[in-house]
Amino acid sequence: MGSANELWLLQGAFTVLNVPVTWLELIAFTLALANIVCNVLEIHWGFALSLLASGLYAWFFAHSGIWGEASVNVFFALIALWGWWQWLYGRRNRDPYSGRSRQPLRVASLATRGRLALVAVWAVLWLLCAWALQHIAHSTVPWWDGFVTAGSIVGAVLLGRKFIENWPVWVVVNTVSIGLFWYKELLLTTVLYAILWTLAWIGWSRWHRIRI
């Protein structure tokens, strides 16, 4: 039964420019898109969709040989549970506006020191991910895959804590991802990341208004 389900999910649903799109990619695409819309609108159910979409995309990317993205989607599935809890019950040690402690989690910005730390962490993770992808997973695109993987980890943590800086991170990550997936001839996923790129800008604008 398991092999039959796997065979069905990996069958072509339709073709785009003579490239087949599998049912697995189509279902993951739909769930991922709905997830980001929920994130933009601050709807916590988006994390449930993220859990499902990430699990499917981990399988899909592993099947496509993009091991960095496969690994980071396993991470997404796990961090979705943490992010869901954060959005429902998370607190900040100190509210960035009132100065009072233990305030409910809401949209906020990092201080300058936090933004510098963000860039430094991303750079270190990029080197580590690229090395692992090149020497362990034997990725065909270790540096690009590693850059996207590292940025996705950073973006997911920032999103879970409702920091507005998650959106510019996703803008950069999605820009590089569009090129990566186009190179891998994953056309529907390329379209998805083009849409996600647009939604990241919308999320950035909307969260900026909420923060103000």
Three-state secondary structure call for residue 100: coil
| Main-chain phi, psi angles of 94, to 5 degrees | -150, 125
Tokens for 14?
Answer: 């339709």
Closest CA to 9 of 47, 78, 63: 63
Per-residue model confidence as pLDDT tens digits over 150-200:
999 999 999 999 999 999 999 999 999 999 888 877 787 888 899 999 999
Tell me the pTM. Answer: 0.80
> How far is residue 160's CA from residue 70's CA, in Å, rounded to a whole number?
20
Pick the range with the lowest mean pLDDT from 11-20, 26-35, 40-49, 63-72. Answer: 11-20
Three-state secondary structure call for residue 203: helix
Question: Amino acid identity of 147?
Answer: F
Per-residue model confidence as pLDDT tens digits over 88-102:
988 876 555 555 556
> How far is residue 84's CA from residue 95's CA, in Å, rounded to a whole number?
20
